[in-house]
Amino acid sequence: MPIEALYNLSKKRIAVDAAATNAYTLAVELLGAAFQMVCNNTMSEGQQRWFKHFFVQPAITDDNRARVANYLLATLKGIEEHGITIYIDPLMNYAHKKPAVDTISITRACYASAPKCVRYLIHETSHLYAGTTDDADAGYVNDDAQFRAPGLTGDRALGNADGLACFALLASGKALV
């Protein structure tokens, strides 16, 4: 189900625009492609490098592939099956699960950048539908695809929201910015 509603900085409902629609469509496409390549073990060498990098794994095993595939699929199903409301926020990206509607907030700067809008749509909805986590600076990725700080362990990395979103983009040949 596509984006249900969009709210501007003044919390005023506005028409769902092309940026939101395009971000939703691309997020669904990238999550589906990432799920297929991980689930079917058809990752190229470059995609395998991104997998090891974002999920902090020395080797790709059936277990860690299955865990990442489950996070990708849960996020994909959640996006497809639930209406999402997006708030354009001045400061933060975040997710809120509410009884009537699932909402995410994306900063104005991220919303204005197509790759970042897709990245944070995946990141925030993975919290809602797959139970992914953030791990302080160690769990966030800079625009150059490097973690902001060391310390993310392989087990925590498998369920890290930013790693999942960045992997979906970069493994599909898209840019982070």
Q: What is the CATH number of the domain that holds 19?
A: 3.40.390.10
* Residue 159: per-residue pLDDT: 96
Q: Report if residue 112 sits inside a domain.
A: yes
pLDDT band at 13 (very low <50, low <70, confident <90, very high): very high
pLDDT band at 134 (very low <50, low <70, confident <90, very high): very high
CA 150 to centroid of chain Cα atoms: 21
Q: Report if residue 176 sits inside a domain.
A: no
* Residue 152: per-residue pLDDT: 94
Q: Report if residue 119 sits inside a domain.
A: yes
Q: Report if residue 24 sits inside a domain.
A: yes
pLDDT tens for 65-110 read: 999 999 999 999 999 999 899 999 999 999 987 766 789 999 999 9
* Residue 9: per-residue pLDDT: 87
Q: Report if residue 53 sits inside a domain.
A: yes
Q: Report if residue 120 sits inside a domain.
A: yes
Q: Residue range 153-158: average pLDDT?
A: 92
Contact 159, 133 (CB under 8 A): yes
- The pTM score is 0.96
Q: Residue range 144-161: average pLDDT?
A: 94
Q: Report if residue 177 sits inside a domain.
A: no
* Residue 144: per-residue pLDDT: 96
- Pairing mode, if any, of strands 84-89 and 102-107? parallel
- What is the Cα–Cα distance from 174 to 166, expressed in whole angstroms? 9
* 52-55 long-range Cβ contacts below 8 angstroms, 24+ apart: 53/145, 54/141, 54/157, 54/160, 54/163, 54/164, 54/166, 54/167, 55/154, 55/157, 55/158, 55/160, 55/163, 55/167
Range of the domain at 166: 3-171
* Residue 99: per-residue pLDDT: 63
The whole-chain average pLDDT of the chain stands at: 94
- What is the Cα–Cα distance from 53 to 137, expressed in whole angstroms? 16
pLDDT band at 116 (very low <50, low <70, confident <90, very high): very high
* Residue 127: per-residue pLDDT: 95
Q: Report if residue 26 sits inside a domain.
A: yes
* 27-30 long-range Cβ contacts below 8 angstroms, 24+ apart: 27/79, 27/118, 27/121, 27/122, 27/125, 27/168, 28/76, 28/79, 28/80, 29/172, 30/118, 30/122, 30/168, 30/169, 30/172, 30/174
Query: How many structural domains is the chain composed of?
Result: 1
